[in-house]
Amino acid sequence: MLGDTTTTLLGSSAIVAGLIYGAVSGFITGPTMIDRMTEKTIDWPKQCVRTITTEVRRNEAPAPQMPTLGCRSIFGWLGPDGDAYCRMHGHLFDNNPLNQAMTATQNAARQAQENRLRHAAERAPDRCACAVTTTIEENRLSIALYAGTWRLVQPPAIKNLKSELATNLNASACAMKGGRS
């Protein structure tokens, strides 16, 4: 009878110790290990900011280049006579209101483009951190297994950590963090 109590006590304490070890691996050491891996091993923060900036630049339409209204565009069809007139009076066409309006529009479009790029670059760290947090939350069991086995067992979520991070970066929850436009 005494032997049965001892084995039951040892068995239940081993189960409790295993559960505690699993919880510590899943909620403390695992996430810490993944945070360090993303920063040191795969250099995720820098790579992520570069990816977001490149994505914004790629999706950005180039600012339209509008032709300027000058003497040659008006009188150029007259041939040599038009050229002679433009040499003599061409300076009067250089600073006309239509050219000023087109230049102002181009400058405004260029400034808006720079503002969008700057805004995306400022918000990029939030999106990158969101991707890491979401990856940890979605793969907690795999991370616990990885941390609990002292990196001997490498589940697919850990092997493909970069792709998991990239997927979560573009997921709606993290894309909204950066004010993606």
Global pTM exceeds 0.85: no
Alpha helices in the chain (DSSP H): 2-24, 30-36, 44-59, 71-75, 80-89, 97-138, 140-148, 156-159, 161-169, 172-177
One pLDDT digit (tens) per residue for the chain, 181 residues: 455 666 676 778 889 998 999 999 999 999 999 999 999 888 999 999 999 989 888 888 776 677 777 777 777 777 888 788 888 877 677 777 877 888 888 888 889 888 988 888 899 999 999 999 999 999 999 999 999 998 899 999 999 999 999 999 999 989 887 554 4
Domain around 132: 2-177
Q: Residue holding tokens 């616990």? A: 144
* Whole-number Å distance between alpha carbons of 13 and 8: 8
CA distances from 71 to 42, 65, 100, 175 (A): 58, 19, 15, 49
CA distances from 37 to 7, 171, 173, 178 (A): 41, 21, 22, 23
83 and 65 in contact (C-beta within 8 Å)?
A: no
Domain count for the chain, please give it: 1
3-state secondary structure of 178: coil
Q: Residue holding tokens 């280049």? A: 65
Per-residue model confidence (pLDDT) at position 65:
74
